[in-house]
Structure 1
Amino acid sequence: MKLLVKAPAKINLALDVLGKRNDGYHEVKMIMTTIDLADRIELVELEEDAIKIISHSRFVPDDNRNLAFQAANLLKKRFNVKKGVAISIMKAIPVAAGLAGGSSDAAATLRGLNKLWDLKLTIDELAEIGSEIGSDVSFCVYGGTAVATGRGEKIQHIEAPPHCWVILAKPTIGVSTADVYKNLSLEDIKHPDVDGMVEAIKGQNYFKICDLVGNVLEDVTLKLYPEVAHIKEQMKKFGADAVLMSGSGPTVFGLVQHESRMQRIYNGLRGFCEHVYAVRLIGERNTLE
């Protein structure tokens, strides 16, 4: 039996850090929403009791460092599954980009194997298991739009933002999330209005959403990586309605309502940036088939 599952990327419309936790993680409050840029995960059942990762990108590990491998391994052990699976990962989301590509691959693997192995788990149970793999995996199991708290694993669903274009640009650098958090000064944070953003989304107020985007990690990454600052400046100059870095970076996204302006910004960025994408917001939750 074979299954194909989509693994969409996410962006952070707001990302706030509230403090350091005893477990070494940071307490966060953020709004995440899915976008129409997705990896494809193909799951093929194996008779042999093994997990095989088939990676089509040299930047994606094919061993137990891979989050999709960890997802499959966790399900196998917890539910005593004696069959194996080959997991083929076809990347469209850039790697180490602040778009939760690895987490979304793991979440898609959980959803797919639930069906392939007939585990009959609910989406809430899958999200709970996902939280053991990584902070963003719970959200990626659900998809849609949500306020995430704790270390990112506590999910409160909200409605999708109004439809618009999302332009993404990623410089050819990697960003260490650990380094970004290490350089974050909790005393100097200018906290974004996350609650105001929730109300703006509920009211479908596109321009209010654009006014309220904010990410406390952005200042740190912009100082450490000037390439990211350059992309942000150019995207603003080309006329995006809102511009923000996603996650710990280095991807910068811009929100645009009109297709003609989206095309102009896309073309402008392609002049100096290799990884540029123009996609739509999805913002709708996943369902288990």
Structure 2
Amino acid sequence: MKVLVKAPAKINLSLDVLYKRPDGFHEVEMIMTTIDLADRVELALLEQDKIQIISHNRYVPDDQRNLAYQAAQLLKERFQVKKGVQILIEKTIPVAAGLAGGSSDAAATLRGLNKLWNLGLTLDELASLGSEIGSDVSFCVYGGTALAKGRGEMITDLPAPPTCWVILAKPFIGVSTAEVYRRLDLNGMNHPSINEMVKAIQHNDYHSVCENVGNVLEDVTLKLHPEVAQIKEQMKRFGADAVLMSGSGPTVFGIVQHDSRMHRIYNGLRGFCDQVFAVRMLGERHTLD
């Protein structure tokens, strides 16, 4: 028996860091939405009691470092599952890109194994388990658009954002999220208005969404990697309505409503950057089959 699950990437329309918590994590407020750029996760039942990861991407670990492996291991231990699983991950989302590819693979694994192993868990229960794996996993279990607080595990559902194109550009570098947070100066940063972004989405106000994008991690990554700043400038020059780095980077995204401008930005960046994608926002939450 096999189960196929789509694992979409996410972007942060807004990302704020409030303070460092006693547990060592940072208290965040983020508005995230899934986009139509996705990995494909295929889960196959194994009679042997083991977890096997297969990926043809050399940057994807095939052991306990892999978040999908951790997701399967967590379910096996929590629910005394004695059967195994082969997890085939076909990567489309760039690795270490600020797009939650690994977290989405883990979330897809949770949703898929819930079906494959007949666990009967709800999305809320799967999201709670996801929070034990990584900060973005809970959101990725739900998908859609949401306000995330705490470490990212406290999720409030939001409507789909206004219809638009998202052009993503990732330079050929990886960024360490831990290092970005370590270098973050919590004093004197300009905080984006999370409340204004929530209102913009609730009112389906594209212009206001563009006005309120913001990411406090951006300044840190731009200083570490000047090429990210160059991509931002190129996107603005080609005519994006709003440009922002997603997560801790290094992927930069621009949003536009018109097909002609999307093509101009996409084609312009392809000669300048390693990986470029033009996709739509998904907006809708996942459901359990």
Tell me which amino acid in the other structure corresponds to 1:152: G
2:154 is aligned to: 154
Shift of 1:179: 1.2
Q: Write the distance in 1 (CA, Å) between the matches of 2:171 and 2:109.
A: 28
Shift of 1:183: 1.2
Shift of 1:283: 1.1
Tell me which amino acid in the other structure corresponds to 1:73: Q
1:255-283 C-alpha deviation (Å, 9 max, x unpaired):
01001100000000001111000000001
Q: Write the distance in 1 (CA, Å) between the matches of 2:107 and 2:136.
A: 9
SS in 1 for 2:63: coil
Q: Write the distance in 2 (CA, Å) between the matches of 1:189 and 1:22.
A: 21
Q: Write the distance in 1 (CA, Å) between the matches of 2:94 and 2:9.
A: 9
Q: Write the distance in 2 (CA, Å) between the matches of 1:273 and 1:191.
A: 29
2:95 is aligned to: 95
Which consecutive residues of structure 1, in runs of 5 or more, have no partner in the other structure? none
1:173 is aligned to: 173
Shift of 1:54: 0.3
SS in 2 for 1:24: coil
1:10-25 → structure 2 map (5 Å cutoff):
10-25=10-25
Q: Give identity over the alignment, percent.
A: 75
Q: Write the distance in 2 (CA, Å) between the matches of 1:274 and 1:225.
A: 15
SS in 2 for 1:155: strand
1:58-102 C-alpha deviation (Å, 9 max, x unpaired):
000000100000000000011011110000000000000000000
1:203 is aligned to: 203
1:114 is aligned to: 114
1:126 is aligned to: 126
1:134-149 → structure 2 map (5 Å cutoff):
134-149=134-149
Shift of 1:107: 0.1
1:228-285 C-alpha deviation (Å, 9 max, x unpaired):
0000000000000000000000000000100110000000000111100000000110
Q: Write the distance in 1 (CA, Å) between the matches of 2:82 and 2:181.
A: 40
Q: Write the distance in 2 (CA, Å) between the matches of 1:200 and 1:45.
A: 44
TM-score, length of structure 1 as denominator length: 0.99
1:31 is aligned to: 31
1:59 aligns with 2:59: yes
Q: Write the distance in 2 (CA, Å) between the matches of 1:56 and 1:135.
A: 26
Q: Write the distance in 2 (CA, Å) between the matches of 1:36 and 1:277.
A: 10
Q: Write the distance in 1 (CA, Å) between the matches of 2:184 and 2:7.
A: 30
Runs (4+) of structure 1 exceeding 6 A deviation are none
2:76 is aligned to: 76
Tell me which amino acid in the other structure corresponds to 2:280: R
SS in 1 for 2:162: coil
Shift of 1:218: 0.4
1:237 aligns with 2:237: yes
Tell me which amino acid in the other structure corresponds to 1:248: S
Which consecutive residues of structure 2, in runs of 5 or more, have no partner in the other structure? none
